[in-house]
């Protein structure tokens, strides 16, 4: 049987023998026999052996990606591990022990990671595609995993005709929106383009077939035009004795489809169907001079478009990409893009170091999965070596986990997030009534930490409400801010109920006293700091309302005239004390009120007239019944408050470690450019990762426009960053914060 297996895959074994040592060939032969034995009887949709898939993936891994021995063996056997895990096979431990003993820990680790990615229940949702891509990357602690997975998906797409219609469309969507994008960011342009074209073939078959047919029909004319275009160029280059060769690159079917759809033109309306690349063979010291010589010849023969000239030879791109680009027009009005580079420059670009996504000018976040992909792209220069894994930091996405809802939606959360965080991330109202969750079929409490890939079902109860101790359970800012908001709202509601209860009782008891005087006396009697706190105690029944009647009756009797007179002046006395304390402590900044949402002993709220946020210069203003209100130093009402009530003004500052989500509104004045509102939203939400609460974009008749953007920020420094980023957008004249 072994001989039959080896004979069947002789072509693949010849490829292995041409690339690796005899020892590696022997290990690969053993892996082939191992896979055939354990996958015996497992067939693909066209009734061919499933092991053929693993062998085809391994062929791509060697020939098209350029990975080594361990990656090749992992590609061959990964279906063996996947099926054993799915069936919860009794011999799974025996199986993994065999792989570890015969092929090593690295092969086993790669195979297990590939199985994890295969188990992800992907959902066809454009809105969540980015999170799914990040999750796929998060499972790839060994960087070879994501490269093998791309090879695996490429093999599936090449064989897609054997799948049922529904699976063809699902896998095409995943390939287009997830895997092609990962390949794009890695600079694996050929894999990316093939995945896109194969996806388009099944998602938009009519458009795909139309473009393919047009390319075939126009190929002869296109090649004839290229020859006419190049003939005078070749003469000048040959005359100068320059060694060169020329490549012509036709746009991918998907790229043409996108341009037709974006520009709303027919196939004939796409003018840059192809580009010409003149590649010079010369010593490195002559590169610049000869590239500019060729550039001069091309632009002497044809009229260049100065707006499309790109010089990445004098100043190479940050990723090392070097080339001269120009777009010229022929006498009959046809535009042609010409790229001029040397053999060395072309090799660097073709091998993926100059990643295509950076080449196109796409910005990266520089964090998490994006940074990991960028780092991996840089290491692809040495993809033939297994040392790529040893040179690489193992964690691709720090501090993030991905958790699924039972319906397949994915939520990105920080490491350490709990069931309660997950519930609030789905919806505020769901988090408010959460009593626990169900993870992996078992019921867990709200404080249960979640792991990457968990499927969590939130359990609720209608009578559940947020509690103060929930703040110690949650780690996400969204959950904590919603809990605090609920607690503040409940406190204010209880204060209103308590005041209404006190006013109603005073009326029923026929006690003739002003409510402010009664509150001032009761606060003094119960040693309570503010009227609101008194009202809350009454609403919570911490103060017996009938004892209040007795206290007020005794206070208003003749036996307590002096005490009553003192209480009647309590409001003014409090004002006087505040003024004296202010004067005594003004020089000492350390006595200022420290603003931090964690404070429990001092009741305060942020002024709605100026919306202060962490980092703003602030002061406190003492109210009679509502505690202390915090205002910005430049608040529109600041001058009036300081002049009329100086004794009620308190120094205040933010605690260094204060945290919170502060809502601000930013005004933007700009030229009325199409898509500007979307660009503004992208800068806030995608680049700066801020929570956008709304945007109001108003075009004016004079070609200008105004926008008001409402976002949540953690501090004023982030506000400054946002304003700076907005001002850098093309067409924006100014951006500033408004109250």
pLDDT of residue 574: 56
Q: Is 693 helix (H, G, I), strand (E, B) or coil?
A: strand
Is the pLDDT score of 387 beyond 50?
Answer: no
Is the pLDDT score of 297 beyond 80?
Answer: yes
Q: How do residues 482-528 score in pLDDT, each as one tens digit? A: 898 888 888 888 888 888 888 888 888 877 777 777 788 788 778 88
Closest CA to 616 of 717, 691, 722: 717
User: Sorting pLDDT into bands at 50, 70 and 90, what band is 355?
Assistant: very low
Q: Check residues 195 and 250 and name the one with the higher pLDDT.
A: 195
pLDDT of residue 316: 79
Is the pLDDT score of 408 beyond 90?
Answer: no
pLDDT mean over 544-553: 80
The DSSP letter of residue 141 is S
User: Can you state the percent helix, strand and coil of the chain, rounding each to 5?
Assistant: 55, 15, 30
Q: How far is CA 724 from CA 35, 98, 247, in A?
A: 58, 58, 44
Q: Check residues 621 and 36 and name the one with the higher pLDDT.
A: 36
pLDDT mean over 393-400: 51
pLDDT of residue 138: 59
Cα gap 111→235, rounded to integer Å = 55
Domain extents in the chain: 2-188, 206-351, 400-475, 482-568, 575-654, 662-738
pLDDT of residue 597: 46
User: Sorting pLDDT into bands at 50, 70 and 90, what band is 704?
Assistant: confident
Contact 211, 253 (CB under 8 A): yes
Is the pLDDT score of 465 beyond 70?
Answer: yes
Lowest mean pLDDT among 45-59, 65-79, 324-338, 482-496: 482-496
Q: Check residues 646 and 140 and name the one with the higher pLDDT.
A: 646
Q: Which of 313-317, 513-517, 573-577, 593-597 has the highest mean pLDDT?
A: 313-317
Lowest mean pLDDT among 3-17, 55-69, 399-413: 399-413
Q: How far is CA 234 from CA 231, 241, 328, 572, in A?
A: 5, 10, 16, 97
pLDDT of residue 158: 94
Contact 645, 639 (CB under 8 A): no
- CATH fold, domain 206-351, is Beta Polymerase; domain 2 (3.30.460)
User: What is the CB neighbour count within 10 angstroms for residue 587?
Assistant: 8
pLDDT mean over 84-100: 80
Q: Which is the CATH superfamily of the domain at 2-188?
A: Hypothetical protein af1432 (1.10.3210.10)
Is the pLDDT score of 592 beyond 90?
Answer: no
User: Sorting pLDDT into bands at 50, 70 and 90, what band is 139?
Assistant: low
In the chain, the percentage of residues whose pLDDT exceeds 70 is 80
Residues, the chain = 739
Pick one of 3.10.20.30, 3.80.10.10, 3.20.20.140, 3.40.50.1240 as the CATH number of 400-475.
3.10.20.30
Q: Which is the CATH superfamily of the domain at 662-738?
A: ACT domain (3.30.70.260)
pLDDT of residue 197: 94
Pairing between β-strand 434-439 and β-strand 410-414 as defined by DSSP bridges: unpaired
pLDDT of residue 15: 92
pLDDT mean over 96-118: 86
Which residues, 6 or more positions from 337, have their beta carbon under 8 angstroms from its beta carbon?
272, 275, 276, 308, 325, 326, 327
Cα gap 360→464, rounded to integer Å = 52
User: Sorting pLDDT into bands at 50, 70 and 90, what band is 394?
Assistant: very low
Tokens of 134: 């990040």
């Amino acid at each position: 049987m072994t001989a039959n297996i080896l004979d069947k895959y002789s072509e693949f074994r010849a490829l292995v023998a041409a690339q690796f040592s005899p020892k590696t060939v022997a290990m690969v032969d053993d892996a082939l026999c191992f896979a055939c034995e354990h996958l015996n009887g497992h067939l693909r949709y066209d009734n061919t052996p499933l092991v053929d898939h693993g062998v085809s993936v391994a062929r791509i891994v060697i020939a098209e990606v350029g990975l080594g021995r361990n990656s090749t063996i992992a590609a061959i056997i990964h279906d063996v591990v996947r099926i054993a895990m799915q069936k919860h096979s009794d011999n799974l431990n025996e199986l993994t022990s065999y792989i570890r003993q015969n092929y090593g820990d690295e092969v086993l680790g790669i195979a297990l990671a590939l199985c994890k990615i295969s188990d992800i229940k992907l959902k066809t949702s454009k809105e969540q595609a980015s999170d799914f891509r990040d999750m796929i990357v998060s499972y790839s602690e060994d960087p070879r995993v994501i490269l093998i997975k791309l090879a695996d998906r490429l093999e599936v797409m090449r064989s897609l005709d054997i799948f049922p219609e529904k699976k063809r469309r699902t896998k095409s969507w995943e390939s287009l929106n997830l895997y092609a994008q990962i390949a794009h960011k890695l600079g694996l342009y050929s894999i990316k383009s093939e995945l896109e074209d194969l996806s388009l073939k099944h998602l938009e078959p009519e458009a795909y077939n139309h473009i393919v047919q047009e390319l075939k029909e126009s190929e002869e004319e296109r090649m004839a035009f290229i020859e006419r275009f190049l003939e005078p160029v070749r003469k000048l280059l040959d005359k100068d004795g320059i060694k060169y060769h020329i490549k012509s690159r036709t746009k991918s079917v998907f790229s043409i489809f996108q341009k037709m759809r974006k520009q709303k033109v027919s196939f004939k309306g796409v003018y840059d169907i192809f580009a010409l690349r003149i590649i010079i063979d010369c010593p490195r010291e002559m590169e610049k001079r000869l590239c500019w010589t060729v550039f001069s010849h091309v632009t002497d023969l044809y009229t260049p478009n100065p707006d499309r000239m790109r010089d990445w030879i004098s100043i190479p791109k940050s990723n090392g990409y070097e080339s001269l680009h120009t777009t010229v027009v022929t006498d009959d009005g046809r535009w042609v893009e010409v790229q001029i580079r040397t053999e060395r420059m072309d090799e660097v670009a073709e091998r993926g170091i100059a990643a295509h996504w950076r080449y196109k000018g796409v910005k990266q976040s520089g964090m998490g999965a994006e940074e990991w992909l960028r780092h991996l792209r840089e290491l692809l220069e040495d993809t033939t070596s297994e040392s790529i894994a040893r040179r690489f930091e193992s964690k691709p996405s720090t501090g993030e986990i991905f958790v699924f809802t039972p319906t397949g939606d994915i939520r990105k959360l920080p490491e350490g997030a709990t069931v309660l965080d997950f519930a609030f991330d789905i919806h505020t109202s769901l988090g408010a009534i959460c009593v626990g969750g169900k993870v992996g079929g078992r019921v867990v409490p709200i404080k249960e930490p979640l792991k990457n890939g968990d499927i969590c079902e939130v359990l609720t109860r209608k009578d559940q409400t947020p509690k103060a101790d929930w703040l110690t359970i949650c780690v996400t800012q969204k959950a904590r801010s919603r809990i605090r908001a609920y607690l503040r709202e409940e406190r204010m509601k209880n204060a209103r109920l308590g005041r209404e209860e006190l006013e109603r009782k005073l009326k029923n008891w026929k006690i003739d006293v002003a409510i402010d005087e009664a509150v001032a006396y009761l606060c003094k009697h119960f040693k309570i700091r503010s009227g609101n706190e008194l009202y809350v105690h009454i609403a919570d029944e911490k103060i017996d309302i009938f004892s209040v009647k007795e206290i007020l009756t005794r206070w208003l009797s003749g036996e307590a005239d002096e005490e009553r007179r003192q209480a009647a002046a309590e409001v003014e006395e409090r004002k006087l004390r505040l003024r004296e304390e202010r004067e005594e402590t003004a020089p000492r900044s350390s006595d200022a009120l420290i603003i931090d949402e964690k404070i429990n002993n001092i009741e305060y709220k942020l002024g709605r007239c100026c919306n202060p946020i962490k980092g703003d210069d602030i002061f406190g203003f003492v109210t009679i019944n509502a505690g202390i209100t915090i205002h910005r130093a430049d608040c529109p009402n600041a001058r009036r408050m300081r002049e009329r009530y100086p004794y009620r003004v308190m120094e205040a500052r933010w605690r260094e470690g204060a945290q919170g989500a502060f809502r601000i509104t930013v005004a933007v004045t700009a030229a009325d450019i199409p898509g500007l509102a979307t660009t503004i939203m992208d800068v806030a939400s995608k680049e700066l990762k801020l929570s956008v609460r709304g945007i109001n974009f108003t075009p004016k008749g004079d070609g200008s426009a105004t926008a008001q953007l409402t976002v949540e920020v953690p501090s004023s420094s982030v506000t400054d960053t946002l304003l700076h980023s907005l001002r850098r957008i093309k067409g924006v004249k100014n951006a500033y914060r408004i109250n």
